[in-house]
Homo-oligomer: A and B are copies of this chain.
Amino acid sequence: MTFPQQRLGELGERALLQRIRDRIPAGDGVVVGVGDDAAAVELRGLAFVTADSLVEGVHFRRDLSPPRLLGRKALSVNLSDVAAMGGVSRYAIVSLCLPAGLEVAWVDSLFDGLLERAAEAGVSLVGGNLARAPETIVVDLTLLGEGSRPTLRSGARPGDVVAVTGSLGAAAEGVLLLGQGARLDEEGDLVATGIWTDSSADAVAACLRAQLDPRPPLALARAIAEHDLARAAIDLSDGLSSDLLEMCRRSAVAARVEGRAVPVCGAMASLEGARGGDSLARALHGGEDYELLLAVDPARFEELQELSFVWGVPITGIGEFFEGDPVVIVRDDAGEHPLAPHGHDHFPSPAGDGGGA
């Protein structure tokens, strides 16, 4: 017998591993799953592989992120990367660093979310690793996918449409809302609006969900890859201003964005409006949207919009790439001006842009 209130240090590593393994279903293509020296899996075509970590105190706070949602997000941020490459995600490997004082229930709940999200995405959990951490929880996930043609960041050409899926800025708004006392429970339901009144509850919940449980447009991404509709793609994790500049650098082109065309998230805009904030700035710089930024041949943009209707995910043309040194120009009411990237830097440099190496 074990009790969820138990701490990991009371349960022991072997029992915790067994507890996790017992929950993992058999998966399609999994020849050897968790529990041996390595997993062995079937893959067709090229293998796509990516890894991303969620570090306590940096990417999440234990008191703000319900562990079930954290488990979902650990997978989602990687699903987003494989989708942006035009791949189909198949297998996940999870490495956890866990303090001995952590409740077993927390780990159970993390795996509730991971396994549920994996089932939604058609991904099998095939292995991983468990290590004691002195204090800080680290959830590191490596995702394996498959595909035929990787869509790179470097394929944008002058004249291509700058396109984004979904709407932007809600996830960054979610960070602010958490700081203002708004909370979701394990199920993703709103349990506290913080400093906001109940009339804002729907908007608050939408932004918190965007932050704590992002849903990258996986089916649409797969359709775009199958129809070879993107010349270049990147997932919007650092923020449009950073990620578009990154695509420009890789593709050796410049980009011009129409400020009015940027799909600002309505829920975020209503809250920013109430606080007198700048919703366009949040959409441009916010980060963690896990939408796709695409470079699209203008001759095929209509085809792309048809897919958008089929899959129920908006795709918006927000500007175009043009010949020039890598730079992002925004055109708004004040005219044209270069957009400085304000994406997240884990080791901020005093110089601001982290350059210099």
Interface residues of A (CB under 8 A from B): 1-2, 8-16, 18-19, 22, 31-32, 35-43, 46-53, 55-59, 80-82, 84-85, 87, 91, 93-95, 97-98, 100, 126-136, 138, 140, 142-145, 147, 150, 152-154, 233-235, 345-351, 353-357
Given contacts A9-B349, A12-B355, 20 further A-B contacts (CB under 8 A): A12-B345, A12-B356, A13-B345, A15-B357, A37-B80, A37-B82, A37-B84, A38-B81, A40-B150, A42-B47, A49-B144, A50-B93, A50-B127, A51-B128, A51-B140, A58-B131, A97-B136, A98-B347, A134-B136, A135-B136
* Chain A to chain B contacts (Cβ below 8 Å), 25 pairs: A8-B347, A9-B348, A11-B349, A12-B345, A13-B346, A15-B356, A16-B357, A22-B357, A32-B85, A32-B150, A35-B153, A36-B154, A37-B153, A37-B234, A38-B150, A41-B46, A41-B47, A47-B47, A51-B127, A98-B347, A133-B136, A134-B136, A135-B136, A138-B138, A144-B144
Contacts of A127 in B (CB 8 A): 49-51
Cβ contact within 8 Å between A43 and B40:
no
CA distance A342 to B126 in the complex (A): 27
Cβ contact within 8 Å between B347 and A100:
yes
Cβ contact within 8 Å between B85 and A38:
yes
Contacts of A43 in B (CB 8 A): 43, 47
Residue of B nearest to A242 (CB): B14
Other-chain residue from B11, B57, B85 in contact with A40 (beta carbon distance below 8 A):
B85
Other-chain residue from B126, B133, B355 in contact with A49 (beta carbon distance below 8 A):
B126
Cβ contact within 8 Å between B150 and A31:
yes
CA distance A16 to B353 in the complex (A): 12
CA distance A327 to B93 in the complex (A): 30
Cβ contact within 8 Å between B131 and A59:
yes
CA distance A75 to B246 in the complex (A): 30
CA distance A346 to B150 in the complex (A): 39
Cβ contact within 8 Å between A57 and B357:
no
Q: Do A134 and B57 contact each other (CB < 8 Å), given the known contacts A47-B144, A354-B12?
A: yes
CA distance A269 to B127 in the complex (A): 36
Q: Do A131 and B93 contact each other (CB < 8 Å), given the known contacts A42-B47, A348-B12, A356-B15?
A: no
CA distance A10 to B355 in the complex (A): 11
Contacts of A351 in B (CB 8 A): 12
Smallest beta-carbon distance A174→chain B, Å: 20
Cβ contact within 8 Å between B51 and A347:
no
CA distance A109 to B181 in the complex (A): 43
CA distance A276 to B6 in the complex (A): 41
Q: Do A353 and B51 contact each other (CB < 8 Å), given the known contacts A82-B38, A140-B129?
A: no
Cβ contact within 8 Å between B354 and A14:
yes
Smallest beta-carbon distance A85→chain B, Å: 4
Q: Do A53 and B129 contact each other (CB < 8 Å), given the known contacts A15-B354, A37-B85, A150-B40?
A: yes
Cβ contact within 8 Å between B95 and A51:
yes
CA distance A14 to B355 in the complex (A): 7
Contacts of A19 in B (CB 8 A): 357
Contacts of A59 in B (CB 8 A): 131
Cβ contact within 8 Å between B91 and A49:
yes
Cβ contact within 8 Å between B57 and A2:
no
